[in-house]
Amino acid sequence: MSAREGTSSDTIAGPGWGVFWMVVTGLLFVGVTALVKVLGTRVPAPQAAFLRYAMGLVFLLPLLATLRDLRLERGTWGLIGARGAFHTLGVALWFYAMARIPIADVTAMNYLSPIYVTLGAALFLGERLAARRIVAVAVALVGALIILRPGFREVGTGHLAMLFTAVFFGASYLLAKAISGRVSAGVVVAMLSITVTLGLAPLAWAVWVPPTLWELGVLFAVACVATAGHYTMTLAFRAAPLTVTQPVTFLQLVWAVALGALVFGEGVDVFVVLGGMVIVAAVSFISWREAVLKRRVTPPVSATKV
């Protein structure tokens, strides 16, 4: 390989590019939350989530031939169905929470998903939890208490929805890890989109209201921006290790706070920022320890996004 070729390779991979793509990813996912916030509560959460996923199926057209010829074992179908069920509940609750509590609260509490994955891996996959990881998990849960402050602020249904959202997204990620050893990454993503759309359909039908063209446009924009966010996230992980990109996810909380204050008049809650910082620090520490031990259990924060 010539020196020139080596230089070209360096321009598409490395810590700098990993940080750059993770910054872009954070901006895109904050854009998703902003769009859902703009949508409001007129369209019920299950219906809004269904329309987002249904319109997002257009991005699966390149995989149509692969999906048509797909032949899977019954056990794999069971895992796919279970993941779809967990993710369906998580998505519906996320849309519910997003329309009812500040953007910063949703963003900060979404950081809990990797912590639940760590606990789930220990409970269901036999993953060993060393003392340092247990302390990190406890610290993250303290961060959640700082955000919620039960007894000192009203903990509404939106906050409770986000707690369960993080649990369901964490379960979805664990099942994705099991499925990824049996089928390609493209099929994993495609089957999630299909199963979540099917899972949300009856929930949406039960509460259906006729959407306006503007509301459909907003939800299609959500599908496009979310898809772009997941794509740039893969570019970030390809360019740099998780120990480099994971701490950058804290910027999502900074942008969420700024957006909520400047655009939606939500004010700045220092406890939400502090709690989010505590959770991100704990997740980043766990990711660093897994890198030292050369194993991957805890997902990047952005991997558990809508």
Average pLDDT of span 214-220: 95
SS3 294: coil
Whole-number average pLDDT of the chain: 84
Token pair 């740099």: residue: 240
pLDDT at 96 over 50: yes
Q: Which pLDDT value is given to residue 301?
A: 57
Please write the tens of the pLDDT for every residue from 69-93. Answer: 888 888 999 999 999 999 999 999 9
Residue 152 DSSP symbol? T
The CB-side HSE value for 162 (13 A sphere, CA atoms) comes to 24
Q: Which pLDDT value is given to residue 69?
A: 83
Residue 150, strand partner residues: 153
pLDDT-derived band at 13, boundaries 50, 70, 90: low
Residue 101: other Cβ atoms inside 10 A: 22
Buried b vs exposed e over 105-120: b needs ≥16 C-beta within 10 Å?
Answer: bbbbbbbbbbbbbbbb
**Cα four-point dihedral sign 230, 133, 119, 280:** negative
Domain ranges within the chain, ordered by starting residue: 8-304
